[in-house]
Copies of this chain bind each other. A is one copy, B any other.
Amino acid sequence: MSQTKVVAVGAGYFSQFHFDGWSRIEDVDFAAICDLDCDKAADAAKQFGVKNSYSDFAEMLDAEKPDAVDIITRPDSHLELTRLAVERGIAVICQKPLAPTFAQSKQLVQLSIDAQVPLMVHENFRFQPWYREIKRMLDDHVVGSRLHTISFRCRTGDGWAADAYLARQPYFRTMPRLLIFETGVHFIDTFRFLGGEIDGVYASLRKLNPDIAGEDAAIVMFDFADGGQALWDANRYNEPNVDDPRYT
């Protein structure tokens, strides 16, 4: 079988799920992992049976000459990493959110268009089986012939006090924009999957946890182009008024 050669950059908390996925795809040769911290890259490579590890991204691309690279880093690094990949003709799959600003996101997309190299955003919620089932039921008109309103209520419960977001994603605490930028993008994409294009939005954001920089509660209304509406009611703050808050 002809294999697609894939490398990855970023060995933080979420990368383990990507690495596990790539390792299990038979027609992928998952060849190398890069991280600025060379020990983290080496440890991950060892754990997932990956041959090589690097701490320099360009060096990895030049040495490995992969078909595709999986960018699993923070948003502010995506533009530069994508540039380095597409100028070498290497396809990119990139974590959400694409970039810190809309202007930078458009710039990133333009890079791949100019280089005629495939670019994919790693947006996974719409592939979760429950959303596929909702979509199937809507398409089959199981609950009626048109969508009036669809609501998601989001209570992750991991955002409490000074220990918010735990050891696993502590940088959430200092992100200037948190709830919509980091989490809400998943739901916005899922709403678009289920209800079509969005042509109106109203958002009300709050910061409930005084120990973080960004917002952790939001109510957002979306207008679909076809007249339906969506509602996202989200709160990541779990008030620490019990001895042992349940970790999620």
Contact = CB atoms under 8 A, between A and B. Distances in A.
Give the interface size bracket for A toward B.
Answer: 20 to 34
A98 to B, nearest CB: 28
A208 interface: yes
A204 interface: yes
Copy total for this chain = 2
A156 interface: no
Contact of A204 (B148, B208, B223, B235): B223
Nearest to A200: B204
Interface string A179-211: 000000000000000000000001010101000
Nearest to A145: B241
A231 interface: yes
A226 to B, nearest CB: 12
Given A219-B149, A221-B204, A144 B229 contact: no
A215 B204 CA distance: 23
A235 B148 contact: yes
A191 to B, nearest CB: 14
Interface string A212-248: 0000010101010001010101010101010000000
Interface in A122-147: 144-146
Interface in A109-168: 144-146, 148-149, 151, 153
Interface of A: 144-146, 148-149, 151, 153, 202, 204, 206, 208, 217, 219, 221, 223, 227, 229, 231, 233, 235, 237, 239, 241
Given A148-B217, A204-B221, A206-B227, 7 more contacts: A144-B241, A145-B239, A145-B241, A148-B237, A149-B217, A149-B219, A149-B235
18 contacts: A144-B239, A144-B241, A145-B239, A146-B239, A148-B208, A148-B217, A149-B217, A149-B233, A149-B235, A151-B153, A202-B221, A204-B223, A204-B229, A217-B229, A219-B221, A219-B231, A221-B221, A231-B233
